[in-house]
Structure 1
């Protein structure tokens, strides 16, 4: 385990809306870390369930934002404004850390010269759709990358230096991918991005077809704004959908999971690429490297279990902090 002397102060910032089913597990995971956040800031956009009550019972700082004011960038900016740490750690309300060294590994990336953004690995659990697990495999490989050359990042599991955020807050007008936009601007200023595979979280997505389609649609709209002259033709969307479905079927067959995913695989991929095509219709070539990262099939391989130095956290089924 690394030397924890001189660790900068860490503020965790969580965006949430009706996450009462999931947020307790994340907060428990943060509580059990070898390097604990100095504070946890919850930015709530109008939850009607027990999200805020659970967070208050766990000692979180609560920041409220009206639903009609919400954007992903604005919610992050409000949380960052309220945070006092030197490092701002971002976590989706429906992720939870795999190991007790998650915060330690993620924040240690900033000891490397020039690193101003670090993001960690994401994996699924038993609830994750098979196709989405392959998306995660493509986006979040198993090896650390300490000086990433492209601006991919993901704020479901990431950290940034507060000084960087102070000089360049998140774009509040984007419909998604505010993390990609932020990372692109940081790279252009000479900062480095680190990918920390040793800091995995489980990312829980239990979305309907329509919600999945809308997620990819708004992310494509944002991508088209961030990357000049971006678009995706219908023929390209269809080709990518077919190649991803074929790859998913092949991997599912190898894993002996094909029977249970015969319908789920094309359902997820159709939502993904219909949404992406719709989003790209507004604005000719998408940046080839990022397009590959976002949409091309993962290489056929067995999804490895996330292994990192640290003690695996054992979660109970119901974590409520006494609420």
Structure 2
């Protein structure tokens, strides 16, 4: 073991979270085998996830209900458990159970945090394991490709400085989605910086093979945008309130207006078809505009499908946004919006 690896082993821990991840969790755990301080937090799996993790010598935390399962709650519980046995930990790698750490990532990320004490967290390139299996997996692979450099937000796979995370109270365990950018915003407000380094980080297995799975995932994004906008109303980078207005316009107001005009055409005459068609044509125009922009980085077919699905997805996001707003009005928090159902997914 090199001096760098020895230093990292003494100071870096790994928190893995999951639910019915099957073979994906096995790959995740195997990729952390060189780390002594590692824990797996399970959110009610019905497969052999817990037994397998324990058989590999991994600390295991099994979350109970109530309260409700959330990724944020799992990450907090994992870090709390690690610090009981390894109070000297300075940095922790958060990784979802459907991901596998890339070779060399832990050393690269740890070195980046060590070199710059103003950084709260770093992340790298997350890649999809099977982008060719479905257009939805390909969308995910493109989504993960954020620019190298200073970042405004981060996803679930990050290496974070323990002191920084504790200083902002960790993740918000009540959030069913958007807990990662929320934590990132709070870190930035506290004066910390986030950075995406130029290094492979994780291999992710989204396993989104059906339209319904993609729809549910997109619905969850709308819920997250709604809550983020309410939590950080004055934020302009990123501007979550503006994002919510865009969602409401393209996925709610515009379709509703077209439906009203079509009803008017049936009730009062075909003249109302003209504005209905004019408004409806805004969707394909927007799809083409997005596709043209994305052709700079994507193959033509994927660029075109990205434009189509991003516009269609506004409807799903509107449903998620409405679900969040309804929860506000009724005082009931939403349950997890899961796009995978049932037992293990390998």
| Same fold flag (TM > 0.5) | yes
Which segment drifts farther, 116-125 or 261-270? 261-270
> Do residues 206 (structure 1) and 207 (structure 2) align?
yes
- Equivalent residues of 1:106, 1:199 under 8 A apart: no
Q: More deviation in 17-26 or 238-247?
A: 238-247
Do the aligned partners of residues 240 and 39 (structure 1) sit closer, same or farther apart at CA in structure 2, a change above 3 Å counting? Answer: farther
Report 1:184-203 matches (<5 A): 184-203=185-204
Tell me the TM-score normalised to structure 1 length: 0.71
Corresponding residue of 1:37:
35
Contact 1:14 1:41 in 2 (8 A): yes
TM-score normalised by structure 2 residue count: 0.67
Q: 1:244 to 1:169 in 2, by over 3 A?
A: farther
Tell me what 1:232 maps to.
Answer: 246
Superposed counterparts of 1:300-319, under 5 Å:
none
2:288/2:304 contact within 8 Å kept: no
Choose between structure 1 and 2 for higher RCO, CA contacts under 8 A separated by at least 6 residues.
1
Residue number in structure 1 paired with 2:161:
161
Mapped pair 1:91 → 2:132? no
Q: In the TM superposition, what is the alpha-carbon distance from 1:222 to its structure 2 partner?
A: 2.2
Assess if the C-alpha contact under 8 Å between 2:126 and 2:202 holds in 1. yes
Q: Is the 8 A contact 1:123 1:133 kept in 2?
A: no
> Partner of 2:171 in structure 1?
170
Deviations 1:228-251 (A, max 9, x none): 244334543557972487459968
5+ residue gaps in structure 1?
Answer: 284-319
Range moving further from structure 2, 228-237 or 104-113: 228-237
Considering fraction of residues, name the structure with more helix: 2
Report the Cα distance in structure 1 between the residues aligned to 2:170 and 2:65, rounded to whole angstroms: 20
Counterparts of 1:118-133 in structure 2 under 5 Å? 118-127=122-131, 129-133=134-138
- What is the total number of aligned residue pairs between the two structures? 270
CA shift digits 1:203-256 (9 cap, x unpaired):
11113333322222223222222222443345435579724874599689947x
Deviation string, structure 1 residues 238-288 (Cα, Å, up to 9, x no partner): 579724874599689947xx5xx89986896577433222223456xxxxx
Structure 1 stretch displaced more, 120-129 or 45-54: 120-129
Query: What SS does the corresponding residue of 2:227 show, helix, strand or coil?
Result: helix
Q: CA RMSD in A?
A: 3.4
- What secondary structure sits across from 1:75 in the alignment? helix
Distance 1:213 1:138, change over 3 A: closer
CA distance in 2, matches of 1:183, 1:252: 27
Task: Name segments (4+ residues, structure 1) moved above 6 Å.
Answer: 261-267
Say yes or no: does 1:180 pair with 2:181. Answer: yes
Equivalent-residue separation in structure 1 for 2:53 and 2:223 (angstroms): 32
Question: Which residue is 2:221 aligned to?
Answer: 219
1:117: how far off? 1.2
Does the 8 Å CA contact 1:20/1:54 hold for their aligned counterparts?
no
Structure 2 unaligned runs (5+)?
84-88, 234-240, 252-282, 326-345
Verify: 1:72 aligned to 2:71, yes or no.
yes
